[in-house]
Every structure is written in C-alpha cells, then in structure tokens.
Amino acid sequence: MEDIMEMITVLLIVVGLCVVLPIMIVWITNKRKKEELEKKSEILMTLLEKKTDMDPTEVLKTLDMSEKKKKTVKQELLERLMGGCILSLIGLVLLITHLCNFIFFGTKTNGIIFGGVMIAVGIAMLVYYFVGKKMLKKEIDAEEKQLTEQ
C-alpha cells in the first residue's frame, strides 16, 4: 500500500511539473499580453477621440515604450546555456549523494528521481542552446551587426 502511495505521489508531482505548470505559465503570459494590448488600444482610442489631429503612428510609438528591454537571441541562448549547466550540475550532485547513501528526500529512489529529472531538464536546455545557436546563426549575426551600427 505504501509503494502505491509513493508511486501516486511521484506521478502527481511529475504530471504537475510537466503538464500543469507549463500550461499555467503560457496561460498567464498570454493573459498579461492581452490585457496590456487592450489597455494600449483603449488609451489610443480615447486620445484619438479627444484630439482628432494626432497621428496614430506617433501615439503607437509612444505607447510601445516598454519598461524592460527586449533580450537579443544571443542573450536568450546564453541564459539557456547557463540554466542547463546549473540544472545538470545540481542533478548530478543529487544523484551522486543519493548513490552514496546520503539521503535528503526520504528514500533513495526519490533522490534518484529528482536528480534524474534535473539532469534531463538540464540536458534538454543544453541541447536547445546548441541547436538554437546553429539554427539562429543568421539572426544572431544580424542583431550583432545592428547593435554595432547603433
């Protein structure tokens, strides 16, 4: 009975992290973007109603000024590289400590599962970096050229 409860607990954690969490992140991000777009369009409509002689493109440029700077493709790839390295190292440490009988998560199998998941995510991020670097080489070069011209 305890084995079944452990398996159900691990299954719920994995489903929660691998299915529910990404869906919630995408939903929240899309909701925020939609609200921001609605707010900008509402401001634009009120400005155009009050002052008909305004140029809509100028108003849109002013509204488009965001608080945070957008990251370049290279910066995003480097963040993936750093995250992949960190997660892989943490997962490796968890695996090594649990294989040497230093137990943090209750049982040896839980530590091995957590370590394995972290290594898998870290390796996925590293693969994303190397494949993205190869596929997005033209975009990275264009962004670097554009930044040097400014």
CA distance 117 to 38: 39
Helix (H) or strand (E) holding 95: helix 73-99
**Based on the domain organization, do 26 and 100 belong to the same domain?**
no
| pTM summary value | 0.52
For residues 26 and 47, membership in a common domain is answered with: yes
- Supply the range of the domain harboring residue 106: 69-150
Does the pLDDT value for residue 13 go beyond 70?
yes
DSSP-derived secondary structure for 37-83: HHHHHHHHHHHHHH-TTS-HHHHHHHHT--SSPPPPHHHHHHHHHHH
- What is the three-class DSSP state of 114? helix
What percent of the chain is modeled with pLDDT above 90?
11
pLDDT tens-digit profile of 17-33? 888 888 888 899 999 98
Q: What whole-number distance in Å separates Cα of residue 74 and Cα of residue 88?
A: 21
What's the mean per-residue pLDDT of the chain?
82
Whether 126 has a pLDDT exceeding 80, the answer reads: yes
Is residue 55 domain-shared with residue 106, that is, in the same domain?
no
Residues 148 and 82 in one domain: yes
pLDDT of residue 103: 60
Round to whole Å and give the CA distance between 116 and 125: 14
Mean pLDDT of 112-129: 88
- Asked if residue 119 and residue 98 are part of one domain, the reply reads yes
Q: Is the pLDDT of residue 112 over 60?
A: yes
Q: Would you place residue 108 in the very low, low, confident or very high pLDDT band (cuts 50, 70, 90)?
A: low
